[in-house]
Amino acid sequence: MTTIEERPAPTAAPLDTEALRRHLDGRFADLKERFRRQAPQDLFGPLDHLSTREHRDLTRERLRTLARWGGHELGYSSRWGGGDSPGGQVAQFEMLGFGDASLMIKSGVQWGLFGGAVQALGTERHHAELLGPLLRLELVGCFAMTETGHGSDVSSVGTTATYDPGTQEFVVNTPDASCRKDYIGGAAEDADIAVVFAQLVTAGEPRGVHAFVVPLRRDGNDVPGVTREDDGRKMGLNGLDNGRLSFDHVRIPRTALLNRYADVAEDGTYSSPIASANSRFFTMLGALVKGRVSVSGGALSQTKVGLEIALRYGARRTQFKRPGGDDEVVLLDYLAHQRRLLVPLATTYALSFAQDELMGEMDELLGVQLSGSEPDPARQRAFEGHAAAMKVASTWHATRTLQTCREACGGNGYLADSRLPQLKADTDVFTTFEGDNTVLLQLVAKGLLTSYAQQFSDLDTLGMARLATRDFVTTYAGRSPARSLVADVVEAGRVPDDLHDRAWQLRMLTDRERHITESLAKRMRRARSKPEADRFTAIDDLQDHLLLAGRAHTDRIVAEAFAAAIARCEDPAVATLLGDVCDLHVLALLEAEKGWYLEHRRMTTLRAKAITTAVNTLCRKLRPRTEELLAGFGTPRAWLASSLVD
């Protein structure tokens, strides 16, 4: 058991917080720093007390300011005035997350979802007509996928687009209220045009979900057959005008189909370069992945603001007299307060490094797509799984952490002036949109099962059990930069005395993922072999196991990303500090999961207790480093916009 006395003392030399910040900023550090220094300051500032009307008006105004300032065009092809840098565009979205989330999401609807769909699913005719105006905000769009009755299950949307060869038009129609497009940002007021996902029907054949460009307004008037409704007041994000759209046999030209992956000829003949309807559907959904990466980044930014407010408040707020003294104790000097706030601070660091890795993958893969080619399908699939896992992890982390921050600031944290209520309310829907977390986590787990099955399809159960761990890790870790590190670790197979041994920490997480996935695979095989009548229940019985597998996978990739970031850090003092932060993140995670580890005989009871002690010791050790760790976030003080911070 390691006590604080046995650990090296904090480095005497002052930490280079700029080096820490640049390292945390990662691949897009230059862009982020430019945004901090130069972005229009009227994008930021307090928002409490705004009515829905006022907040929508302010957000619209700020979106225009942002359109003039730029950055949103980065993700588009340079052929149309873009910057060929999808990562740069998402990095700017992440920076907007330090301000009003309504503006961030509003910009995401226009230039991420709507513009992104035109770019990714459309062809030259759409690009030439739409990209310029939408980048300049002369054309305001929305992204009409979700329906009232069909949230996560996009393949079941009920809106139809039926081809009429007589007029060479598609007829877009909403058969019933459950098929209204709903919660659509921009649909209540601002959008002139929509990308609508609908079931394409031609020559009497249903061809599955495709995307169409549908004008909602022409010369300031609503297009006949289009009905808009306002979703009204929401828990948060009230700067955004969410609404509902219904279509009553609205006619659009044949060329309104975004036809990169499928087309309909004048005579109604359907064609597609992708033979399988299923592959086609998932390729088109790939356009959504950037949205998930963006939400993950934005959630982390909002979390950083909340943590900084709560930590700065906790570092000056006193409560109760020190026993035997007359001074009062600073809140953050209490162990319970440190556990509440420093553990999520450490996890925010971990997720930020993992997010940066995801951004690197995305930038490469979308770069290929921008150039008109298709990325390697296996890499694309791995990236989609990675993005889903990070979206789940970051958004649930935001929900939990901002709740804790609110409570940690007591009555003050309940006042709108503190900004914490707004942060909490705005981010709350992040766990729901761009894929509900519970559904996404199951997709992550199913992805694990698929790669597991591909790898081991020719092995029997016993063979699988005997399989060296290394093979598993090599397969699962994929392109992770930490892969070789992990492989070394797993090979070594030893249990060190030191809980701060990074190799052991990663092995603990890898082993958990492996065991959970293997046992899930076996149970799933049994469930699938049941008679059809019992099959749904048999598979559904595994749902909690499936969710656990998704979590275990995410835990492992996040910790690996943190370890890799430390390994490549060139400033020794920064690396040492990050080492402690990583220890706190991983050991707090092992502590939270000790039930599983003990149950599966992966941890002795002595070690479980030692981990609790180590978490406490690390909290004490990092308490005096709080200021430096917050400096690593690099948030300009004015952006905090909270009455709790001077």
Cα-Cα end-to-end distance for the chain: 40
Cα-Cα-Cα-Cα dihedral of 286, 296, 148, 230, to 10°? -120
Residue 434 annotated to the active site: yes
The CA distance from 258 to 246, in Å, is 20
Q: Which C-beta is closer to a copy of itself: that of 355 or that of 422?
A: 422
Contact string (CB under 8 A) for a copy of itself, positions 349-388, x = contact: ----------------------------------------
Q: Write the single-letter amino acid at 600.
A: H
Exposure letters 179-191 (e unless 16+ CB within 10 A, then b): bbbbbbbbbbebb
Does residue 421 touch a copy of itself according to CB under 8 A? yes
Residue 353 CA to residue 445 CA, distance in Å, equals 22
Confirm or reject binding of residue 432 to a copy of itself (CB under 8 A).
yes
Question: Are 76 and 115 spatial neighbours (Cβ–Cβ below 8 Å)?
Answer: yes
Instruction: Considering the complex, state which of residue 462 and residue 533 has its C-beta at the smaller distance from a copy of itself.
Output: 533
Q: Please, which of residues 434-463 interact with a copy of itself by CB under 8 A?
A: 436-438, 442
Query: Contact region for a copy of itself (CB under 8 A) — 107-115, 262-270, 330-338, 581-589?
Result: 330-338
Q: Considering the complex, state which of residue 249 and residue 528 has its C-beta at the smaller distance from a copy of itself.
A: 528
Catalytic residue among 73, 94, 434, 560: 434
From candidates 180, 406, 585, 623, binder to a copy of itself by CB under 8 A: 406
In this chain, which stretch among 77-85, 260-268, 334-342, 483-491 interacts with a copy of itself, using CB under 8 A? 334-342
* Residues numbered 219-278 forming contacts with a copy of itself, rule: CB under 8 A: 231-236
Residue 189 binds a copy of itself, judged by CB under 8 A:
no
Query: In whole angstroms, how large is the CA radius of gyration of the chain?
Result: 26
In the bound state with a copy of itself, the residue whose beta carbon lies nearer, of 328 and 376, is: 328
Instruction: Show contacts with a copy of itself in window 129-188 (CB under 8 A).
Output: 146, 149-153, 156, 182-183
Place of tokens 């952490």: 401
Angle in degrees, 0-180, between the axes of helices 29-38 and 17-25, rounded to the nearest 10? 110
- The DSSP secondary structure of 467-510, one letter per residue, reads S-HHHHHHHHHTT-TTHHHHHHHHHH----S-TT-HHHHHHHHH
Binding residue for a copy of itself (CB under 8 A) from 285, 425, 487, 645? Answer: 425
| Rounded least distance, CB 604 to a copy of itself, Å | 9
Kindly report the number of other CB atoms within 10 A of residue 204's CB atom: 8
* Cβ-based burial of 398 (10 A; exposed 0-12, middle 13-18, buried ≥19): buried
- Please tell me whether residue 609 binds a copy of itself under the rule CB under 8 A: yes
Binding mask 286-325 for a copy of itself (x = CB under 8 A): --------------------------------xxxxxxx-
Tell me the window of 14-22, 65-73, 276-284, 407-415 that interacts with a copy of itself (CB under 8 A): 407-415
Query: Which of the residues 539 through 568 are near a copy of itself (CB under 8 A)?
Result: 539-541, 543-544, 547
**β-strand pairing of 141-144 with 193-202:** parallel
In the complex, least distance from residue 322 CB atom to a copy of itself, rounded to whole angstroms: 6
Candidates 84-92, 131-139, 429-437, 451-459; binding stretch for a copy of itself (CB under 8 A): 429-437
List Cα–Cα distances, 322 to 116, 328, 440, in angstroms: 57, 5, 48
Instruction: Choose between 59 and 442: whose C-beta lies nearer to a copy of itself.
Output: 442
Is position 475 an interface residue for a copy of itself (rule: CB under 8 A)?
A: no
Closest-CA residue to 214 (of 190, 196, 188): 196
Q: Which listed range, 137-145, 268-276, 461-469, 535-543, lies at the site for a copy of itself (CB under 8 A)?
A: 535-543
Q: Write down the least CB distance from residue 46 to a copy of itself, Å.
A: 11
Alpha-carbon dihedral 233, 238, 240, 241, rounded to 10 degrees: 20
Contacting residue, 133, 315, 612, 645, with a copy of itself by CB under 8 A: 612
CA distance 420 to 423: 5
Query: Considering only CA atoms, which of 394, 577, 564 is closest in space to residue 20?
Result: 577
Place of tokens 């958990």: 512
CB-nearer residue toward a copy of itself: 475 or 537: 537
Q: What is the DSSP letter of 161?
A: E
8 A C-beta contact, residue 618 and residue 590: no
Burial class of residue 552, CB neighbours in 10 A (0-12, 13-18, 19+):
buried
When the beta carbons of 24 and 392 are compared against a copy of itself, the nearer one is 392
27 closest CA partner among 85, 71, 76: 85
The token pair that represents 504 in the structure block: 């052991």
The distance of closest approach from Cβ of residue 411 to a copy of itself in the complex, given in angstroms and rounded to an integer, is 4
Closer residue to a copy of itself (CB): 415 or 464: 415
Distance CA 167, CA 161 (A): 14
Residue ranges in 569-598 that form contacts with a copy of itself under rule CB under 8 A: 593-595, 598
Nearer to a copy of itself (CB atom), residue 320 or residue 493? 320
Q: How far is the CB of 517 from a copy of itself (least distance, A)?
A: 17
Residue numbers annotated as active site = 434
